[in-house]
Chain A
Amino acid sequence: MTIASKLKEALLCMKAGRVTLPYPFKPHDPEEGFRGLPKVDVNKCIGCGGCANVCPARLIRVIDKDQFTRVLVFLYERCTFCGRCAEVCPEGAIEMTREFELSTDDVHDDMIGEYHIFMGPCERCGRCYRPPTALDKLMKPGMRDDPIDRKCPTLWPGGDASDAQAGEDEE
């Protein structure tokens, strides 16, 4: 190769300019649809365990701590960011965020997610409550002609629960 051809090559390369990403000095976010760390929104989770069932690395552990609490432990060190947990979740509680800067020196303590979920009990005893979660939708499907409430306007045209006396007279 002659010197002239090498100089020509150098000039062609200089025409390309600077192609390097200024990455560690400026942030570079990945595009839409990038699968980063999966995070659980605890207020939407109903504790079904579908994510644990489907995870290929089996890193999700479902532990029943007591009668009302279920704890989901995610051991993120084995996660392959496949997105199956987010795909299967019936409430859409798992979101594949776009975080990829996950390097650490203490992976066994840092890459753990612990989520405590409050499970609604099945008996209608004195421990009933109204949690602001999706379980509320499943619990009591609304009977409008419940004689205690008397909210159905077709059956009780005159009044509601506050007119208990008037309702009794009509009967």
Chain B
Amino acid sequence: MIRDWLIEKVLPRSLWVYHTNCGACNGCDIEVLDVLTPYYDAERFGIRVVGSPRHADALLVSGPMTRQTAPAVRRVYEAVPDPKIVFAIGSCATGGGIWHDTYNVLGGADQVLPVDFYVPGCPPRPEAILHGVATALGLTPKEVHALHAIQEVGEVEIEELAEEQRLVHEQE
């Protein structure tokens, strides 16, 4: 009961975040810092970056899951107390990015942690990160969906072909 109250009433207004980099190029890390500047201002939503995972409510993971940092990131995930939300920031954390099949990369962040929300981008704009956090907290609707498209094709003109063939036979 207290857990539900925390998730519904308290977390959307005050989310303490711990940011961890599991092998990123630091592009996504810089964009996360950008979100905290006054221009994009995540702090007006109560989001604050803390120095220890044990103080955090949410975990921001950036970078592909490398073989070397996987055990450390798993320990960080287990150090964050329940209830927690895990965000995978950037294309590398979402699906491995361009490094998905290299020798030291296991894949995206969801190879080792259960990820709740993905924010693709390379790097994702600070607005995209804000949108991701707002969607996770239920403040905005989700906007992406699977795309299916089938090409339109003209009809097969069988009747014309038959007429042409008939003309050829007549001449012969």
Task: State whether B96 touches A78 (Cβ < 8 A).
Answer: yes
A-B contact count (CB 8 A): 166
Task: State whether A100 touches B124 (Cβ < 8 A).
Answer: yes
**Residue A96 interfacial (CB < 8 Å):** no
Task: State whether B132 touches A103 (Cβ < 8 A).
Answer: yes
Task: State whether A30 touches B125 (Cβ < 8 A).
Answer: yes
Task: State whether B100 touches A105 (Cβ < 8 A).
Answer: no
**Residue A141 interfacial (CB < 8 Å):** no
A147 — which chain B residues lie within 8 A by C-beta? Answer: 171
**Residue B140 interfacial (CB < 8 Å):** yes
Distance between B94 CB and nearest chain A CB, rounded to angstroms? 5
Task: Give the B interface residue count (CB, 8 A).
Answer: 56
Residues of A contacting B: mostly: loop
Distance between B25 CB and nearest chain A CB, rounded to angstroms? 11
**Residue A54 interfacial (CB < 8 Å):** no
- Of the stretches B35-43, B46-54, B76-84, the one at the interface is B35-43
Residues of B within 8 A of A (CB): 38-41, 44, 91, 94-98, 100-101, 108, 116-122, 124-125, 127-128, 130-132, 134-136, 139-140, 142-158, 161, 164, 167-168, 170-171
Residues of A within 8 A of B (CB): 19-21, 23-24, 28, 30, 37, 39-40, 42-43, 45, 56-58, 74-82, 99-105, 107, 109-118, 126-133, 147-148, 161, 164, 168
